[in-house]
Amino acid sequence: MRWTQLFIPTLREDPAEAELVSHKLLMRAGYIRKVAAGVYNYLPLMLMVLNKISQIVREEMNRQGAIEMLMPVLVPAELWQESGRWQSFGKELMKMKDRHEHDLILGGTHEEVVTDIVRKTVKSYRQLPLILYQIQNKFRDEIRPRFGLMRGREFIMKDAYSFDRDEAGHKISYQKMVDAYYQIFKRCGLDSIKVESDTGAMGGRMAHEFMVIVDTDGGEDVLLLCDKCDYATNLEMATSIAEEIPQDSHEKPMEVVDTPNAGTVEEVTAYLGVKPTHLVKTLLYKADNDYIAALIRGDRELNETKLKNYLHAITLDICDGVTVAQLTNAPVGFAGPVGLSGVKVVADTEVMKMKNFVVGANQRDKHIVNANVHRDFHVDAVVDIRNAAEGETCPACNKGRLYSRRGIEVGNTFNLGTKYSGSMNAGYLDENGQEKTIIMGSYGVGITRTAQAAVEKFNDDKGIIWPRSIAPFDVIIEPLNFEDKAQQEAALELYDKCAKTNIKALLDDRNERAGVKLNDADLIGVPLRLTIGAKSLKEGKIEFKARSSPEVHLIDQTQAVWTAEEVLAKL
Ligand code: ATP
Ligand code: MG
C-alpha cells in the first residue's frame, strides 16, 4: 500500500495523557486515538495488527477443533439474572435499558449466552465435547480504565467455551486450549508463562493466566515463581512458608500508651522502639453491607483478593476517614481490635502466632502494647489474608525460594465446573439415558491487550519494533525523494516485486523531508526498511536495514526483494 492512501496520523510529541511507553508509541505512531476513557479508535495500522493477531488466534483455535461463531453484544438481563451474575459481576457490568424500560447489558463475557444456546441445542452425549469461540468487542465498566488498550472499557477479546460430559473430558478440552495459547503467544513473538490464578468474577474451580513478563509499569500483575520447581502463581493467590518470628513465652499485662501523631506503622514502631513484626495493623473494610476489621502483622501487606474470596463479597472497599471515625471514635491510624464492636474481625494466620503486640487503642494518639488474641479481644475468623513475599519458601516443593516478576495478563483459562450449566440447566442424556450436567470451561485472549503487550515488550527510543508475525507491513520502501524520477521508478519496481511475492510492503510516497520519513518509518516499527537514496542508486544499490538492528547494508537493487524474503523468513 501507499502511505498517502493510508491514514497514519503520526505525532511529533508524546501525548501527555499516556504513561506507558507502549501507549505513547501507539498514539504517536498513528495506531490509535482516544474517543473517551478506555474507548479507542483502532486506526488502519492498528486494525492490520489486530487482524493478524486474530488470524493467528483463529488458526490455533481451529487446529484444536474449536468452532468459530459470533454471539450478540446486546444481551437481555434475564440470562445474567439466571446465572446470578446480574448482581455478582458488580459495577463492571455495562447495564442499559431499552425504550420499553427493559434491562439489557453490553456483554463483557459470554458464559450466559453460550450456555443458553447449548442448553437449547445439546441433548445427547453424542453432541459432546464441543468448544465454541468468537472474536468480539467486549464492554466492561472498569473502575480505572488506563494504559491505552491494556485496560479499556471496550476491547477485543477471543472468548472460547468448552462443553464436556465429565471432568475427564473437560481436562482434555482444557489442555487443548492451554496448548493453543502457548502456540498463539509464541506465534505473536511473545514468550508467555502460565500461572495459577484466582477464579474471580468467572467463578468455577480452577484458573490459569497466561502472562507476558515485562518489568515495566505495564506489568500490572505481580507473579511469584519458585526457583526450584514449577510453582508459578499470581500474587493474588500465592501462598508461602514464612520464617517464624520468635515470641515471648508469657503474656504481659496490656497497657494503653501515648503515641502522639504516630498513626503509620513506621511512626508507631519508631516511637515505641518495637519492630513492625510486633505490631498488628487493623484495616477497616466495607464488604457489601458489612464492616470488617482485617488484622495483619505490621510488616505485611493485606491481600484483598484473599479477603474478598473468604467473605464471598461482591464489593470490598477500604473505609474512608469518616467511617473509620464512626467505627473507632478515632482518626485513621489508631484503630485496633480491643473493644471494637459492630465489625467482624478477620485475623491473618500469622497474627495467631504473635504474643504481646502493639495495636491501635481506638483513641486519638494512643496505642495498646502487649495485646494478646483471645485474652484481650475476640477474633471471628482466622484466614490467610497476607501477600506472600519474595524470598519466602515455596509452598509446593518446600525447598525453593520465591522470586517475583511482573506480567501482563494476555489470556486465561477457567475450569467452570457446573457453575453455569448447573444454574442454567444445561444438561444432556448419557449412554444410559441418565440426565447429566455439562462440565464447562471458559478461555479468553485479550486481542487488543496482546497487541499493546508486544509494543511494551519490543520498542526502542525511536519507536515500535513489531515481531514480523503481527507487524502491519513486512517492509517499508523509503525513496528519500519521491519526486525524483529515478528514485520513484526504483521504488515502484521494488513495490511491484514485493506484490508478486508474499511480502506486504508499504511504499512511503510522501513528499516529505527525508529525515521526517525515516523517523516515521522507525516510529511505526515495520520490520524491514529498503531505503532508496540518490547517491547509492546511481551505483544500483539500495540501503537494507532491519528495524531491530542498527546495521545498514548496501545491497544490489536487483537482490533487494530476494534478500528481504530471506531475512523475513528468519524473523
Ligand atoms: P484483569 O485481571 O486484567 O482485569 P480479567 O481477569 O478481568 O483481566 P477476563 O475476564 O478473563 O480478564 O478476560 C480475558 C482476557 O481479556 C484477559 O486475559 C485480558 O487479556 C483481556 N482483558 C480483560 N479485561 C480487559 C480490559 N479491560 N481491557 C483490555 N483487555 C482486557
Ligand atoms: Mg478484570
CA of 494 to the centre of ligand 1 (A): 42
Task: Evaluate: CB of 200 within 6 angstroms of ligand 1.
Answer: yes
The pLDDT, as a whole number, for residue 458 is: 97
| Chain segment 317-354, per-residue pLDDT in tens | 999 999 999 999 999 999 999 999 999 999 999 999 99
Q: DSSP E strands: which ranges in 70-228?
A: 74-76, 94-97, 103-106, 130-139, 154-164, 193-196, 206-213, 221-226
Its CATH architecture, for the domain 255-383, is Alpha-Beta Complex (3.90)
Tell me the pTM. 0.93
- For the segment 515-520, the average pLDDT, to the nearest whole number, is 97
Q: How far apart are CA 408 and CA 216, in angstroms?
A: 10
Separation of 35 CA from ligand 2 center, angstroms? 21
**Relative to the alpha carbon of 412, which ligand is closest?**
1
Superfamily of structural domain 48-73+108-238+404-456: Bira Bifunctional Protein; Domain 2 (3.30.930.10)
Residue 173 in contact with ligand 1 by CB distance below 6 A: no
142 lines ligand 1 (CB under 6 A): yes
Q: What is the pLDDT of residue 498?
A: 95
Give the ligand with the smallest distance to the CA of 411: 1
The pLDDT score that the predictor gives to residue 199 is: 83
**Above 90 in pLDDT, residue 193?**
yes
Q: How many CA atoms lie within 13 A of 338 on its CB side?
A: 22
Q: Is the pLDDT of residue 564 over 80?
A: yes
Cα 26 off chain centre by? 18
C-alpha 143 – ligand 2 centre gap (Å): 10
Q: Where are the beta strands (DSSP E) in 125-279?
A: 130-139, 154-164, 193-196, 206-213, 221-226, 232-234, 255-258
Quote the pLDDT of residue 131. 98
Give the SS3 label for residue 555: strand
Answer whether 208 contacts ligand 1 (Cβ < 6 A): no
Among the bound ligands, name the one nearest to the CA of residue 91: 2
Distance 209 CA to ligand 1 centre (A): 10
Q: Is the dihedral of CA 263, 265, 267, 273 positive or negative?
A: positive
Q: Rounded to the nearest whole angstrom, what is the distance from the C-alpha of residue 147 to the centroid of ligand 2?
A: 14
Per-residue pLDDT, 125? 98
| Domain map (residue ranges) of the chain | 48-73+108-238+404-456, 255-383, 473-570
- Cα(569)–Cα(563) distance, rounded to whole angstroms? 10
Whether the bond into 527 is cis, omega within 30 of 0: no
- For a ligand 1 pocket test, name from 153, 412, 415 the mutation site with the most ligand atoms within 8 angstroms of its C-beta: 412
Measured distance CA(358)–CA(295) in Å, rounded: 12
> What separation in Å is there between the alpha carbon of 287 and the centre of ligand 1?
23
Location of C-alpha cell 517499508: 476
CB 524 within 8 A of CB 10: yes
pLDDT value at 198 more than 90 = no
The CATH superfamily label for domain 473-570 reads: Anticodon-binding domain (3.40.50.800)
